[in-house]
Amino acid sequence: MIQPDTSAEEGGQTPAEPDFSRLLEHLPGFAYQRRNDTIWSAEYLSGPFQELTGLPAEFLLHKGHAAYINLIHPDDREKTIHGMRHALEQGGDYSLEYRINLPDRGERWFADHGCGVYDDQGQLQRLTGFVSDITQRKQGDRELERSEDRFRQLLEASRDAISVIDLDGRLLDANRAAPLLFGCADRDSFLKLHPAELSPDDQPDGRPSRVAAAAAIAEAYRQGSLEFPWQHKRLDSGETFETIVGMHRIDLDGKPALLVRVSDVSEQLRYQQRLRQLAFEDPLTGLPNRQAALEWLEQQLQRTDGNPLLILSIDIDNFQWLNNTFGREQCDGLLVTLANALRAQSGSAGLAARLQSDEFLVIIRLKPSETGGNPAQEQERQVGQVLAALQATLAATPGLPTVMSFCIGSTLHSSGPVAGQHLTDAEDLLQQANTALSAARRAGANQQAIYEPGMKVGIERRLAMESRLAQAIAGREFTIHYQPIVARDGRVVAAEGLMRWPQPDGAWVPPSTFIPLAERSGRIRALGQWLIDSACAQLAEWRGKGLELGHLSINISPTQLGNSDDPLQQQLLRAIERHRLPADMLQLEITESAVLENIALARQELESLAAAGFRLALDDFGTGYSSLLTLQKLPFDALKIDKSFVQKAERDDKSRGLVESCVSIAQKLDLDCVAEGVESELQCLLLRGMGCDFYQGYLFDRPLPATELERHLRGRP
């Protein structure tokens, strides 16, 4: 301790004053005393002075006030001196905060509390005070201010409406976007609203909005947070719009409240609906396309009402000739007319679809009684009826070519086991109808044929192919080609591995042929396992050579998911362990429809894959039915826009809007956005403009053998 210089007062018989000096040693700050001489010299400094300032006591002790004042930050000096002087003149205490520049420690914040000591005449004798270091608190304050500021800015910048409500649903605060979104004049009038005014009376599922909102608030409060779709209403126009609402419980000055975020997703939903139409509807006739027909038929096959299904494959004879003779426009009109007739024929329980240019499919649901007697006869009768309807339509429509005939192949599917009929999936039924159609065509124009097992052409070919596939898997006859994925600056940042099945004659069987076959014959797991291991081996080799590839994307077939014996995740973990790869160098591409097939199961498995570190990409985005809410909840890292949309974007505005919406969905969900099938500069330019950052397609490269991709990675063309 630095002894106070008290000699001036000693000698008197004043009663012993309490001595705080020992106590002062332990306080996190230093005490001082100054004498009112001309220089206000320091008489006393408690021990922690040195600790706090890094200066020896001699620096100040018996020195004038200026030595200390000089340490104070120039900007704070004036107010410090003034504050102190003012307090002393008034005979009061002072409490000051200032920055101080210490030779060894740089800038610190000090708090200085002191008071004057006066004699009987009221003359100021000394100054005593206590100084503590408040730097940490000051920084904390600043941090807090800054983070509050940042938070406020974030809220204000958000395009989503963000508000705070109490547990009765009353609005307490809102950001700038909130009144805009709800068509309200300004924030003040918005805050005066009751939230019930911002929703229609009922939600689309029929629940009264008030009841549903109260339930959601209670639930959000109970769980801590909640997210749900909600229909809102604009105040100015009364128009309703679709939103996703997120609620989070917060503490507002000690009271519970909810932070509510409302994102307007109506535009995305509209686009999604259009996407859906594009993917599943034939644009010319409005009939479902092949994919949609297959899905519908698959669903019907799972129904167990026992009603037989009649499947007709219909082909217009010499359509090419008609097209050339009557012109494209008139033939398009013809297709639309025929489509309408077929739609009427299929009835409400059946389906009409357009498979390709002049090929239609009609599925008719029969009553069991209709086939009870002689099924073949009934089948013939039904086919005859459809044919008659087509002819009648032609006759009744003026301006159509009269010289027209049709070939029809049909097959009957009776549910329940039928002798000799072991294949009953939708694809098989279509194949049967098609086999019958081929038989009809072979017989000439205007022919009908009924499928019979003897006609096994198509199916036999498939069985032969299946056995070749089994051999090829056992013999590891496959290879992988790698297609670069490039960033905006043209750098190859990743690649997609695509399987190839080379044939002895040098041709390739395309994956679109052998993957579905492997899936249907249960061989996809073995094939997938081979792919995972080979891809990892290749990746490890490149890594060993120091070649940069952010990640390698591989395709996962839906049948590889949901296997409890040897889960996909175990296969993947084994492979990355064997080849010493970090999990995030592998990206798994899963198609939208695969994810949606069994969302509950897929979600669990995907979450676990993501937790293990694998990247996940949603493949062929735009071709499935996923809702934004579903997507938001799945742990994807990237979204790949289907090539059909990318390619159409160049040609028409509508498709361009759709791709734009895919990009904006990716941005909204904070996913990497990869456009597939980029073939032209124009497509690439459009995608760039929309904010899509990654591209894959023939414009950059076709899928390449490993050695060629390697050359790329080395930077040599």
* Under rule CB under 6 A, residue 635 binds ligand C2E: no
When CB distances are held under 5 to 8 angstroms depending on the partner's kind, the choice from Ca ion, ligand C2E, none that residue 531 binds is ligand C2E
Q: Taking the complex as a whole, how short is the minimal distance between the CB of residue 695 and ligand C2E, in angstroms?
A: 9
* Binding site partner of 33, from ligand C2E, Ca ion, none, Cβ cut-off 5-8 A by kind: none
Kindly state the number of chain residues that form the binding site for ligand C2E, as judged by CB under 6 A: 22
Q: What is the phi/psi pair of residue 338, to 5°?
A: -65, -40
Which residues, numbered 542-561, are part of the site for ligand C2E (CB under 6 A)? 555, 557
Comparison of 589 and 605: residue with beta carbon closer to ligand C2E? 589
Where do contacts with Ca ion occur on this chain (CB under 5 A)?
Answer: 555, 589, 619-620, 676
When CB distances are held under 5 to 8 angstroms depending on the partner's kind, the choice from Ca ion, ligand C2E, none that residue 511 binds is: ligand C2E
**Rounded (5°) CA angle 164-170-174:** 35
| Nearest partner of 50 among 3, 2, 5, 95, judged by Cα | 2
* Stretch 583-612: interaction string toward ligand C2E, x if CB under 6 A: ------x-----------------------
H or E stretch covering 428: helix 426-442
* Cβ–Cβ < 8 Å for 210, 196: yes
**714 phi, psi to nearest 5 deg:** -80, 0
Strands 171-174 and 93-102: unpaired
Residue 679 within binding range of ligand C2E, rule CB under 6 A: yes
How far is residue 697's CA from residue 586's CA, in Å, rounded to a whole number? 20
**Residue 687 binds which entry of Ca ion, ligand C2E, none, with Cβ cut-offs from 5 to 8 Å by kind?**
none
Cβ nearer to Ca ion, comparing 389 with 706: 706
Contact assessment for residue 246 and residue 632, using Cβ atoms and an 8 Å cutoff: no
3-state secondary structure 516-543: HHHHHCCCHHHHHHHHHHHHHHHHHHHH
First to last CA, the chain: 78
- Residue 523 binds what, of ligand C2E, Ca ion, none (CB under 5 to 8 Å, by partner type)? none
Determine the Cα–Cα distance for residues 692 and 667; give it in Å rounded to an integer: 9
Place of tokens 């520049």: 101
Dist. CA 314–CA 408, nearest whole Å: 5
Decide: is 698 part of the binding site for ligand C2E (CB under 6 A): yes
State in angstroms the smallest separation of the CB of 623 from Ca ion: 9
Phi, psi of 328 (to 5 degrees): -65, -45
Residue 483 sits in the site that holds ligand C2E (CB under 6 A): yes
Q: Does 232 bind ligand C2E (CB under 6 A)?
A: no
CB under 5 to 8 A by kind: which of ligand C2E, Ca ion, none does 76 bind?
Answer: none
Q: Does 179 bind ligand C2E (CB under 6 A)?
A: no
- Torsional sign, CA 154, 157, 159, 165: positive
The entry of Ca ion, ligand C2E, none near residue 697 (CB within 5 to 8 angstroms by kind) is ligand C2E
| Spatial separation of the C-alpha atoms in residues 503 and 501, rounded to whole Å | 6
Residues near 43 by beta carbon (within 8 Å), at least 6 away in sequence: 4, 5, 6, 33, 34, 35, 61, 62, 126
Sole window of 39-47, 213-221, 383-391, 506-514 interacting with ligand C2E (rule: CB under 6 A): 506-514
| Binding-site partner at residue 444 among ligand C2E, Ca ion, none, CB < 5 to 8 Å by type | none
Binding residue for ligand C2E, selected from 515, 594, 609, 628, defined by CB under 6 A: 515
CB of 642 to ligand C2E, least distance (A): 7
| Nearer of residues 118 and 508 to ligand C2E, judged by Cβ | 508
Q: In the complex, what is the shortest distance from the CB of residue 617 to Ca ion, in angstroms, rounded to a whole number?
A: 8
Q: Does residue 705 touch ligand C2E according to CB under 6 A?
A: no
Q: How far is the CB of 700 from ligand C2E (least distance, A)?
A: 8
Residue 641, H or E segment:
strand 638-641
Choosing from 47, 48, 622, 677, the residue that interacts with ligand C2E (CB under 6 A) is 677
Q: Using the minimum distance from each CB to Ca ion, give the nearer residue, 109 or 645.
A: 645
Q: At its nearest, how many Å lie between ligand C2E and the CB of residue 480?
A: 7
Please report, as a single letter, which amino acid is at residue 72: I
Tokens coding 407: 């070939």
Closer of 382 and 623 to ligand C2E (Cβ): 623
Residue appearing with tokens 């898997």: 473
**In angstroms, what is the minimal distance from the CB of 676 to Ca ion?**
5
Which part of the chain contacts ligand C2E (CB under 6 A), choosing from 75-83, 348-356, 432-440, 671-679? 671-679
DSSP codes, 24-89? HHTSSEEEEEEE-STT--EEEE-THHHHHHSS-GGGTBTS-HHHHHTTB-HHHHHHHHHHHHHHHH
Q: Whole-number minimum distance, CB 682 to Ca ion, in Å?
A: 21
Q: Which of residues 346-385 bind ligand C2E (CB under 6 A)?
A: none
Q: What is the DSSP string of 152-173?
A: HHHHHH-SSEEEEE-TT--EEE
Rounded Cα distance between 138 and 115, Å, is 24
List the single partner that 378 binds among ligand C2E, Ca ion, none, CB under 5 to 8 Å by kind.
Answer: none
CB 5 within 8 A of CB 44: yes
Closest separation between CB of residue 510 and ligand C2E, Å?
5
If one asks whether residue 264 binds ligand C2E (CB under 6 A), the answer comes out as no
Least distance CB 648 / ligand C2E (angstroms) = 12
Residue nearest to ligand C2E (CB): 697
Q: Which is nearer to ligand C2E, 411 or 696 (CB)?
A: 696
- Least CB distance to Ca ion at residue 589 (A): 4
Report residue 412 as tokens. 């009957």
Q: Does 485 bind ligand C2E (CB under 6 A)?
A: no
**Near ligand C2E in 613-632, by CB under 6 A:** 619-620
**Closer by beta carbon to Ca ion, 85 or else 702:** 702
- 576-580: long-range contacts (C-beta < 8 A, 24 or more apart)? 576/536, 578/533, 578/536, 579/536, 579/537, 579/539, 579/540, 580/540
CA 555, 560, 565, 569 torsion: positive or negative?
positive
Assigned token pair, 528: 């997938």
Stretch 136-175 residues interacting with ligand C2E (CB under 6 A): none
Q: Go through 332-367 and write b for each residue having 16 or more CB atoms within 10 A of its CB, e for each that does not.
A: ebbbebbbbbbbebbeeebbbbbbeebbbbbbbbbe
Residue 492 sits in the site that holds ligand C2E (CB under 6 A): no
Contacts of 378 (CB under 8 A, 6+ apart): 366, 370, 371
List the one residue out of 130, 124, 69 whose CA is nearest residue 94.
130
At 245, give phi and psi (nearest 5°): -110, 130
Q: Which is nearer to ligand C2E, 275 or 310 (CB)?
A: 275
- Residue closer to ligand C2E, measured from CB, 314 or 675: 675
Give me 313's structure tokens: 């494959």
Q: Which of Ca ion, ligand C2E, none sits in contact with 677, Cβ below 5 to 8 A by type?
A: ligand C2E
Instruction: Kindly tell me which residue out of 531, 586, 662, 674 binds ligand C2E, with binding defined by CB under 6 A.
Output: 531
- Does 697 participate in binding ligand C2E (rule CB under 6 A)? yes
From 232, 523, 643, 712, residue interacting with ligand C2E (rule: CB under 6 A): 643
Q: Answer with the entry of Ca ion, ligand C2E, none that 703 interacts with (C-beta below 5 to 8 A by kind).
A: ligand C2E
Q: Is 20 in the site for ligand C2E (CB under 6 A)?
A: no
| Distance in angstroms (rounded) separating the CA atoms of residues 299 and 305 | 12
Closer residue to Ca ion in complex, CB, 43/701: 701
Residue 693 partner contact from ligand C2E, Ca ion, none using kind-dependent CB cut-offs of 5 to 8 Å:
none
Q: Contact residues for ligand C2E (CB under 6 A)?
A: 483, 498-499, 510-512, 515, 531, 555, 557, 589, 619-620, 643, 676-679, 696-698, 703
